[in-house]
Amino acid sequence: MAATPSSGKWKGTKLLLGKDLKFSVKNGKVAKISARVEADCDSSDTEVTRTFAPDSSWKVSGGKFSGRHKEKIKGGGTAYFTFKGKFTSSTRASGKLRYESIVAGSKCDSYDLQWKAKKR
């Protein structure tokens, strides 16, 4: 069952491949998403640390949220970030995230990464 989240800063407690995840909840919206993910870039592993969609926010509705953000990468290329989840209590959440990019014909994809987070 989904819940109403507490406002404030949240931190990932479990993210597939052990990487970092942070985001904020304010006024019923998820924003300021920062994650370090490992992506497969044309068959070679690359670690990517990005603040995803820093100016975007996704409305929490019924204790759930989802969004896909597209941005231009400095130097050319396009990145996509998908972030979705469910608040399982006022201080806990879980979901999936995905990072994809295309730069100079090279594709990178983290595929769906499961995550869990709690309010700090």
Q: Where are the domains of the chain?
A: 8-119
What is residue 76's predicted lDDT score, i.e. its pLDDT? 86
77's tokens:
């290329």
d(CA 95, CA 114): 6
| Residues 25, 31, 32, 36, CA torsion sign | positive
CA nearest 36: which of 23, 54, 48, 22? 48
Residue 17 pLDDT > 70: no
pLDDT band at 38 (very low <50, low <70, confident <90, very high): confident
Q: Which residue has the higher pLDDT, 1 or 109?
A: 109
60's tokens:
């929490």
Report how far apart, in Å, the C-alpha atoms of 105 and of each of 37, 49, 58, 67, 110 are: 20, 20, 30, 25, 17
CA nearest 113: which of 35, 57, 52, 32? 35
Residue 87 pLDDT > 70: yes
Q: Is domain 8-119 classified as CATH 2.40.128?
A: yes
pLDDT band at 40 (very low <50, low <70, confident <90, very high): confident
What is residue 61's predicted lDDT score, i.e. its pLDDT? 96
CA nearest 73: which of 94, 45, 50? 50
Q: Which residue has the higher pLDDT, 43 or 19?
A: 19
Lowest mean pLDDT among 54-58, 80-84, 89-93, 100-104: 54-58
pTM above 0.75, yes or no: yes
Mean pLDDT of 30-57: 77
Give the residues across from 71 on adjacent strands.
79
